[in-house]
Amino acid sequence: MSTMSTPRIRLPGSASEGEEIEIRTLLTHPMITGVSSDDPRDMLTRFEARMNGETVFAYDFENGSAANPTFTFFIRAAAPGEFTFTWTHEDGQSVSAEESVSIS
Amino acid sequence: MRFSRRSFVSGTAASAALVILPIPVAALDLSDDVAVHIDDILDGRDPREGGIELDAPAVAENGAQVPLTIRVDSPMSEDDHVTAIHIIATANPAPGIGSFHLTPHLTRAEVFTRIRLAEEQEYLVIAELSDGSVLQAAARTAVTQGGCVT
């Protein structure tokens, strides 16, 4: 697989308990299906967003998912506001990012 | 009157900001592999048309990066929420685009991502709800430069 780059996450630094927060994620990745080129397949299989240890949003990638996958979604913020975002490659390797939202 | 290519492209980009009108899924002419892919998702359930708003360009200049916002009409409560949203291409080399998995921790059943369209085509969105019912919608996007599905 290609080397996984550093994910980019955009979310607010603080929020009230129960407040809606917008989360945007981007991972630079070629997402090569291997269908129409000689390049070997190089695809992510899953993205997961966890809040306080619980999976709150996920996505299973298939061939029609664009390169440099990006997502926007809206979460009800809950204390303590610890977020983990994980992208898993078809070969089993993964890259994660951790973010904290201060909940008041 | 003559149009340069540049003015045509910028004109289509301006029109691309519109929310595209939904197409009845029943009106689509689906290939066998697309129909099988959909049947696997439906698993015998009978989908209702509508309840899904698709926001995408009517004309995408780059088929490799087509922005798509999906909004499903749902309170996203513990008792009544969307559990999954599937996106299916009708004219890509493979029908599967991807599947979202949603939980009541989301405030709304609204998601954004970018998809690949190898050529102008319709694509379907199927939403699974927590009560076991299924919604579906379709839209069409023209592609100026095909998304090379690498």
Count of A-B CB contacts under 8 Å: 114
Domain range annotation of chain B: 5-145
Minimal Cα–Cα distance from A57 to chain B, Å? Answer: 5
What average pLDDT does range B8-23 have in this prediction? 54
> Residue A103 gets which letter from DSSP?
E
Interface ipTM above 0.90: yes
In the structure, what pLDDT confidence band is assigned to residue B5 with cuts at 50, 70 and 90? very low
In the structure, what pLDDT confidence band is assigned to residue A92 with cuts at 50, 70 and 90? very high
Domains of chain A: 8-103 (2.60.40.10)
Q: Do B92 and A57 touch (CB under 8 A)?
A: no
DSSP-assigned states of every residue in A69-93: -EEEEEEE--TT-EEEEEEEETTS-
The C-alpha atoms of residue B96 and residue B65 are separated, in whole angstroms, by: 16
CATH tag, B5-145: 2.60.40.2470
Strands, E assignment, A7-93:
8-10, 14-15, 20-26, 44-51, 54-61, 70-76, 82-89
The C-alpha atoms of residue A66 and residue B98 are separated, in whole angstroms, by: 10
Residues of B in Cβ contact (< 8 Å) with A63: 92-94, 96-97, 116, 149
Interface residues of B toward A, Cβ cutoff 8 Å, are 64-66, 69, 87, 89, 92-103, 105-108, 110-117, 147-150
pLDDT at A47 over 70: yes
Residues of A in Cβ contact (< 8 Å) with B64: 66-67
Per-residue pLDDT at B148: 65
Minimal Cα–Cα distance from A77 to chain B, Å? Answer: 8
